[in-house]
Structure 1
């Protein structure tokens, strides 16, 4: 690290611009809550605007001067600044947003500073990790059979000594609670770092695909040259350190046995008594496999986009069709200019569109999966008519939940209140269907864009209509707002 490198970084880095921004704490908090803490990779523009609107409304209760203005302006500004990546999916017209590598780096950097000040600093576990990594590096890179044999014999002796101690009832060394917490936090921090590393590989695929499209549009090179450059770039990525590590990660994680072993290990770790207070870390670790699979699938979609670009490039017929369409559009423009002073009755306009089948690349095929097998042959199913009749009767006796009536209850009470909690509604209008009505109110709050705070909980008491017994139910805090029902009414109109 030299002075010129530091000055260049401070002048050009989007991550530094984010840290220097006046609204940096609020932007980081919103991006972290919306994407990282929620475990979401991409969000549509409308969903992101709605979440930002709810966030700013809550923020203005304590900081009314922060993040004021149209939500669209902030999303455009954050995208132009390099903090959000805006792209379109072929299956949707709604723009999609995701974190960039720069915002990932800033969130990781700030999280590391906070954890160092308020969390556990595991020096002993980090030192042991360094020593184990260096030892593994020495043994794994050595081709000397005598050294490898001596290392394995030493490992064998340690294992046999521990087995012998367990058989004779002797105590064995186990981790202390502090050591368990150190290693647990270190694993969670490595997981956070791993998530941000995916952005580097994904952006590399994006750069290759973008370069292919630019060369194709400029037509400065022949089709064979563009194809050769694209394939060379993709092969180069697979031979670079990032690409080698990523494809090795894919080969490991997409193996069913590896996934099962990893899930089993995670389940055993989160049951350890020493880490039960680390709820946020437990939740992140619990969703680790799903999160990593989603991240890997996101990166591979970029590779699929590159394959699509190559497929279009090789499709000579499609290129000829695009040329013909361009000529027809040019003729239509010329006719439109010549007819702009005429009325509609003076002429008739007709257009003929010719279409052709598209080609598909073998790269778009999904991975092969092992077919499901059954250990035993399925037994012949015999229909139990008496049980079917009982189930039909039970289904017919289910109580009907009128969501529109519940919505009218909320709307009626919001006529005199700007904000209203679910507890207020239950006290004013006791539920007639018991816990089922609570589910209905939650559905209304979710559909109409009200506030559901899963961090805060409250206890409500309702009466069971069947037994007349009182039931205490612990639920997340739900706040109904008048503005949401105004939107609901305008949409209905």
Structure 2
């Protein structure tokens, strides 16, 4: 960090401006209360105005009427101004009311100020062990020698066997309450930092989307060059270290088994007496669902970028077709104008003039047309083998039965995939029933699709034929209690 970099940050970075703001204590405390503590991704303007009006009313009683002379709406719009950048004001799809979301810069300021508050104790043992674990993971991950890896695995195997022998003999080592509290403190901090990282990743993709819109609006060259440039920036973010680790984290989080492990593990940890003495935030119990919701919002931002590119291609095709029609109409108009007033002199020349020669043998010989043969009598077929019941054999899918099957599976697990539902409740009417499952998932706001992890679904027809279909990963989630 040199002098010029620090000076540049002081002039332009929103986090530094927030620390220097006149009403920084009001801004920071209010944003922490409504966004960080309850882990809210976005709030409507009316809700924020009501909360801020209550806060201003209480402060004016203690600090004086002139302490905060402006209205709540004025403060919110000022915080969302481009010159400040502490809030993001936007209109969600299918909504005419503005919403606000916290920016990563403001969130970093709040986290830094929270770190200045004196803590009950500062844990060092768990972080030291984390350093050693990370160091060991890196060394093992880059090791290419086969024998070295085998020796390390044998050593770890011997340590595990020794620990098993001690437990079988009754020598069970119990972690002290101080160590439990220290590790839980580190767990809570890391969980909240992950949510902050989601905001930063989403802002990067949103900035890419904004740049793409600006380029599309002002672009005058060929659309292929524009697409190459936009997709190059998109791939640069996706292939960066941040994009790769986000993709790996998302794949890990989408696993139903991992979700179940997190749910059970958090419930057991929060039931420990040492943890309950710390009065933990009850929202930590559902933090993995908050991760899932934040990740889905980031994925929707990427989907909006793809939709913007698709609209650009459609608009360009329309404009090109319109231009072609204008040129054709212009040529026709000029031709009609010249029809009654031909030009004098030579106005058209042929580069290679030639005689028009038609040889007699080039003409095809006459072929008499074929006369159709009409049957005057109509033969009546044998109707004894016709089953009229076949007209009424229509395939009907009972969607209520499908919803009941999904609900039964969600009783035993908080999340379940479509492949698991079909495995326990086989398809009865084949492909039509599979399409009905996908339709139910599309209408369910708690269901999610992941096209990067396709699944193969199998079933058997009435004649015994095995059928296969590839579909995206569909994940049904139980409603929050």
Aligning the two structures, in what range does the TM-score lie when normalised by the shorter sequence? 0.5 to 0.7
Structure 1 227/376 Cα, relative in aligned 2: closer, same or farther at 3 Å? closer
Residues 78-227 of structure 1 aligned to structure 2 (within 5 Å) = 78-80=79-81, 81-114=84-117, 117-170=118-171, 172-227=172-227
1:179/1:63 Cα in 2 relative to 1: closer, same or farther (>3 Å)?
same
| Larger CA Rg, structure 1 vs 2 | 2
The gaps in structure 1 that reach 5 residues or longer are 325-366, 378-493
Match of 1:363 in 2: none
Partner of 2:284: 285
Aligned to 2:261: 261
Post-superposition shift, 1:105?
Answer: 0.5
For residues 21-100 of structure 1, the aligned pairs below 5 Å read 21-64=21-64, 65-80=66-81, 81-100=84-103
Stretches of structure 2 that go unaligned for 5 or more consecutive residues are 324-415, 427-481
1:119-152 deviation per Cα after TM superposition (whole angstroms, max 9, x unaligned): 3211121111111111111112212222211221
Distance 1:374 1:139, change over 3 A: closer
1:442 alignment counterpart? none
- In 2: Cα distance, 1:243 partner to 1:26 partner: 35
**Matched residues in 2 for 1:89 and 1:155: separation?**
53
| Rounded Cα–Cα distance in structure 2 between residues aligned with 1:370 and 1:77 | 50
Separation in 1 of the partners of 2:282 and 2:134? Answer: 28
Aligned-partner Cα distance in 2 for 1:101–1:55: 23
In structure 2, C-alpha distance between the alignment counterparts of 1:24 and 1:53, rounded to whole Å = 17
2: CA distance, partners of 1:248 / 1:199: 17
- Give a deviation string over 1:76-125, Cα, whole Å, max 9, x none: 110111100111222101111101010111111111121xx133211121
The question of whether the paired residues in 1 share the 8 Å contact of 2:44 and 2:98 is answered with: yes
Query: Structure 1 369/246 Cα, relative in aligned 2: closer, same or farther at 3 Å?
Result: farther
Secondary structure of 2:101's counterpart equals strand
- CA drift of 1:290 comes to 1.6
The secondary structure found in structure 1 opposite 2:80 is: helix
**What SS does the corresponding residue of 1:11 show, helix, strand or coil?**
helix
Pairwise CA distance, 1:208: 1.5
Give 3-state SS (helix, strand or coil) of 2:107's partner: helix
Shift of 1:217: 0.9
In the alignment, is the contact (CA less than 8 A) between 2:259 and 2:288 conserved in 1? yes
Structure 2 contact 86–103 (Cα < 8 Å) conserved: yes
| 3-state SS in 2 of match to 1:47 | helix
State the distance in 2 between where 1:7 and 1:141 align: 40
TM-score, normalization by structure 1 = 0.64
TM-score of the superposition, structure 2-length normalised?
Answer: 0.65
Aligned: 1:14 with 2:14: yes
Counterpart in 1 of 2:378?
none
Contact 1:108–1:192 (CA<8 Å) still a contact in 2?
no
Q: CA offsets, 1:2-25, max 9 Å, x none?
A: 222222222221101111122212
Contact 1:215 1:221 in 2 (8 A): no
CA RMSD of aligned residues (A): 2.4
State the partner residue of 1:336.
none
- The alpha-carbon deviation at position 372 of structure 1 amounts to 2.2
Q: SS where residue 181 of structure 2 aligns?
A: helix
Alignment of 1:70-469 (within 5 A): 70-80=71-81, 81-114=84-117, 117-170=118-171, 172-279=172-279, 281-316=280-315, 319-320=318-319, 369-370=418-419, 372-373=421-422
**Could you report, residue by residue, the CA deviation over 1:131-185 in whole angstroms, capped at 9, with x for unpaired residues?**
1111111112212222211221121111111111111112x33321111111111
Partner of 1:423: none
Residues 177, 308 of structure 1: alpha-carbon distance in 2 compared, 3 angstrom cutoff: same
Distance 1:323 1:45, change over 3 A: farther
Contact 1:270 1:282 in 2 (8 A): no
After TM superposition, the structure 1 stretch with the greater mean CA deviation from structure 2, 312-321 or 178-187, is 312-321
Q: 1:174 to 1:2 in 2, by over 3 A?
A: farther
